[in-house]
Structure 1
Amino acid sequence: MTTVSYQINSKRRVSAGVMALAGCLLTGTLSVAHAITPTDSVPTATVNYGDLDLSTQDGALTLYRRIAAAAREVCPDEGSRNLAAFARSKACQAEAIARAVSDSHIPQLAAVYAARSKHG
């Protein structure tokens, strides 16, 4: 089971945290994190977007790319030789991105995500 939660702070920063239990557990503010057990500290990758104009397609696309890169950092596929681990990594990344977009409440980012989701 995977559960994800995000929050956006007032400094225009988003972080997403991801913990592996049976899947991934995301916590934070839209930084992406991964840990073996719930007692381990959760490393995070913060995605800053204060430099972006999120009312534009380009700004939203840049933020989407930053979120996706952060998700890949904290949900690595570790060489992808193990198919099950690779699948878990991709599912973790997809969930992290989906939740970050959903919880951001940024319409342009949601539009970019929807367009990307249609094309794989």
Structure 2
Amino acid sequence: MSASDPNSAIYVTDTPKEIKNKVNRYAFSGGQDSIELHRKLGANLDLTTNHDFQVDVPIKYLNFFLEDDDELERIKTEYKEGRMLTGEVKQRLVEVLSGMVARHQKARAQVTEEMVDAFMAARHLPNMFG
């Protein structure tokens, strides 16, 4: 990913609005071109033939960040069978990422300069292997 392209990743400094925009505009999905076709064929969640990754970015992110495995399997099934639309999957991803980033931002705001200094201070480490 390119650090010069702010849309290339979700950053821990992103706002919920920025996360929503990035997911909705840039996260490639395996959904079909129209709602009618999607309801008929469902989403493509299969692995590509040449690489070991899924073609649906929102599902891939949910694989990593959604803590409820049962919910993840339900989403995959509903989406693959056309009962859940791409927008609904992306909305769930936005909720998951926004919550995770908000928790990080709250914890980061509580870090003081003294805490950073204490963490970064040089200290003797015991010889664990001798």
More helix by share: 2
More strand by share: 1
Structure with higher Rg: it is 2
TM-score computed with the length of structure 1 as normaliser: 0.30
